[in-house]
Structure 1
Amino acid sequence: MTATDEEWFDEAAGPLVRPYAMTGGRTRSDTLGLDLITLVVAMQSVTDVDVEPEYAGILSACQHPTSVVEVAAKVDLPLQVVKVLLSDLISQRLIIFRSPAAPGAEPPSQHVLQAVLDGIRKL
């Protein structure tokens, strides 16, 4: 076996820490209502705080307002794991978030829906 074969094998093994270990076995973070498009932003730099590597990666990804789904893509972790970790960082006041505006109570009119449908059909 060559050195390149060993490197490939190590990469194929996957992460050393399983997602449930990163979250302490927690699978939900429903208390904050984080959505895929919720914007999050770090309040401090990674160099200013002493946190575990997974949290540090998320803080680095959130130096500018970023959606939850983009954070998950940047740190290469499952979305649900990122939501749990973000909830931890929010409770520690290291990250703040802004959820999207709630849709209006009144549904769109039939005329608007028909115009959208007609526009899609023209494509």
Structure 2
Amino acid sequence: MSAEAIPLHPAEETGFVRPYAITGGRTKANYALELETLVSTREAAVMAVPDQIEHQQIMEQCRTPHSVAEIAATLRVPFGVARVLISDAADAGLVTVHRTITGDEGAEAHLMLMERVLSGLRRL
């Protein structure tokens, strides 16, 4: 039987893998990751080479802090997939997830952030 007769898997044929296949179908992150949550590569992990290519890309991008939204856009994956990937990278000690303002403790600061974002959008 020749190699031409063996049908290719759709992902091999198109080079496209469904985003949730990257996370093994998982949709829950272990961290509270909002759009604006900043992520940075841990100094101790700079020399580490993770197995998953997406983790390598996250580490490379986050040498300077980036938001979850920026990471999702760079990886070209939905926000939920990015959250799981970032959470996995944080669990592996590759990146640091910086704390964001949540709940009643920062309601006023959160509102100020939203107003700044809205103002920036209006200037566009």
Name the counterpart of 1:112.
none
**Cα contact 1:55–1:89 (8 A) shared by 2:** yes
Q: Percent identity?
A: 34
TM-score in terms of structure 2 length: 0.65
Q: 1:106, CA displacement in angstroms?
A: 8.9
Write the distance in 2 (CA, Å) between the matches of 1:107 and 1:94.
30
Write the distance in 2 (CA, Å) between the matches of 1:60 and 1:103.
31
- Assess, with a 3 A threshold, how the Cα gap between structure 1 residues 80 and 105 changes in structure 2: closer, same or farther: closer
Counterpart of 1:59, as a letter, is M
Name the counterpart of 1:82.
82
Number of residue equivalences:
95
Name the counterpart of 2:35.
36
Equivalent residues in 2 for 1:41-120, closer than 5 Å = 41-43=40-42, 44-45=45-46, 48-102=48-102, 104=104
Greater fraction helix: 2
Any runs of at least 4 consecutive aligned residues in structure 1 with deviations exceeding 3 A, and if so which? Answer: 102-108
- Assess, with a 3 A threshold, how the Cα gap between structure 1 residues 107 and 84 changes in structure 2: closer, same or farther: closer
Unaligned runs of 5+ residues in structure 1 are: 1-12, 109-115
Deviations 1:24-45 (A, max 9, x none): 110121x311111111001133
Unaligned runs of 5+ residues in structure 2 are: 1-13, 109-114, 120-124
Counterpart of 1:39, as a letter, is L
TM-score in terms of structure 1 length: 0.65
State the superposition RMSD in angstroms: 2.5
